[in-house]
Amino acid sequence: MGLLPWFARYGLLRLARESPRFGDSLSGSTKEDAMINELDDVILTRDTPEHGLSAGDIGTVVLVHRKQAGYEVEFTALDGETIAVLTLMPDEVRPINSGEIAHARELAVK
């Protein structure tokens, strides 16, 4: 089960207040060179129609490749079902910024 259902139940802001590790990723940093770590939530920056994902979708980093050369990112539905685990380059994801809000939508491909 992915982390997203847990976020959906408790809310990102509550999680940020209660967990310094997750709160760090919501600190409002907008630097392109911000460090992305394993278990950080990230935002997809491009559409991946073959997986039904759109720019702006939220995924969880499950592996950081050497020297931040790329990331393995899991995308899950709100019910915890894994949609895809993708290998993405640094320019294909970005950290979450403060003031952003999650959005629910139907998966484009099932």
pLDDT in tens, the chain (110 residues): 445 454 444 444 444 444 444 444 444 444 445 799 999 999 999 999 999 999 999 999 999 999 999 999 999 999 999 999 999 999 999 999 999 999 999 987 76
Question: What's the start-to-end Cα distance of the chain, in Å?
Answer: 18
Please name the helix (run of DSSP H) or strand (run of DSSP E) that holds residue 17, with its range, or none.
helix 12-18
Q: DSSP character for 20? A: H
Give me the pLDDT at residue 93, please.
98
- How many angstroms separate the CA atoms of 15 and 12, rounded? 5
pTM: 0.69
Nearest CA to 87 out of 26, 54, 34, 44 is that of 44
